[in-house]
Amino acid sequence: MGSCRTCRFMAAPRSKGEHGTCVRIIHGNGDCETWDDRTADPDKELAYVTDGSGYSARLLVLPSFGCALHELGPSVVQREEKQRT
């Protein structure tokens, strides 16, 4: 399993710490009924984060975290292709 360090969905940390946000995982507020059209059906998503209070939900992860949604980022793919040639 790949880690967030090499995943194309990993967003840069927003603060001084190393934790970043996964842009692939839906981050919602309130109930799933209010999600906009660009979001997928939450019942078919492998993971999502929601806050029923209507405030804010975020999943923060370290670069060493890994999950089933991992996809290599373009820069990593390009580097591996270059090493093969």
Q: In this structure, is the dihedral angle defined by the CA atoms of residues 37, 41, 42 and 48, taken in order, positive or negative?
A: negative
Count of the separate structural domains present in the chain: 1
Q: What is the pLDDT along the chain (85 residues), one digit of tens a residue?
A: 889 888 988 887 777 778 888 888 887 766 555 555 455 676 788 888 887 776 777 888 888 999 999 998 864 544 556 777 7
18-57 in b/e burial notation, b at 16+ Cβ within 10 A? Answer: ebbbbebbbbbeeeeeebeeeeeeeeeeeebbbeeeeeeb
> For residue 13, what are the domain limits?
4-84
